[in-house]
Structure formats: structure tokens, C-alpha cells
Amino acid sequence: MGNPIVHFEITGGKSGQLAAFYSQLFGWKVDSNNPMQYGVVDTASGQGINGGLFTNRDGSARVTVYAQVADLQLPLDQAEKLGGKTLLPPSDVPGGPRLALFADPTGNIIGLTEAFAKG
């Protein structure tokens, strides 16, 4: 059995810009009431996955999906053997999950998480 995609993240724009856009476009509920002002997205569909919206300090924009894994380091090591590059080693998010990021050989950024609460 493969590792499921359990979270998406859309980053870019100015503070609140993405939350306003996607709330109006898709009816997503976005809660940014947390110390990192990370917009926790509830798609309210019950059929898909929830995600997050965030403004990058460097102004860059990207979409990242997160795969759930049992151990963050194992897929990072395997990704590097296959030509990928670790971008963020296993890290704790304050009040959130443990996660890591890597780039595939073409530069796509993929996230890994050990646990990501739905909702």
C-alpha cells in the first residue's frame, strides 16, 4: 500500500490574499487564528483532503502536497538516492505535525508528514 496524500499547501501572495480568493472561489473555510497565521483550510466537502494557505516571506508561490509516512528520514534518504534533494530535514511545527520537504529531480517540492490531523 502506498503513502496517501493527506494535506495540501498553497503559498504566495500578500497576507490574507489567498484566504480571500479561495474562500470566495470554492467556499473553503480558512482559519488563520494561530501564532504562525497559517490558514488552516477546511474544504467542507467530506470527500477530499484539507490543507493550508500561507504567505512566504520571500514572496515565492507554490503548491505542495504532503504524503503521510511512518518515518520522515527513510523517504528523504531514498529520494536523495533517486536524484532528489532534501530541502527541510525532519522538523517539528509548533502545535502541529512533524514534517520534511524534498525536491524531486525536476524541482517539484513534495512534503512528508508523520501525522496530520484532519480538519
What is the overall mean pLDDT for the chain?
89
Beta-sheet pairing, 62-68 with 5-11: antiparallel
Strands (E), the chain: 5-11, 29-31, 39-42, 51-54, 62-68, 85-92, 98-103, 109-113
Helix, strand, or coil (residue 99): strand
Task: Tell me the per-residue pLDDT of 42-85, one tens digit each, with 9 for 90 and over.
Answer: 886 677 899 999 998 888 899 999 999 999 999 999 999 999 99
Q: Is the pLDDT of residue 117 over 60?
A: no
Over residues 87-95, the mean pLDDT reads 92
Over residues 104-119, the mean pLDDT reads 82
Q: Catalogue all structural domains in the chain, each as residue range(s) with its CATH number.
A: 5-113 (3.10.180.10)
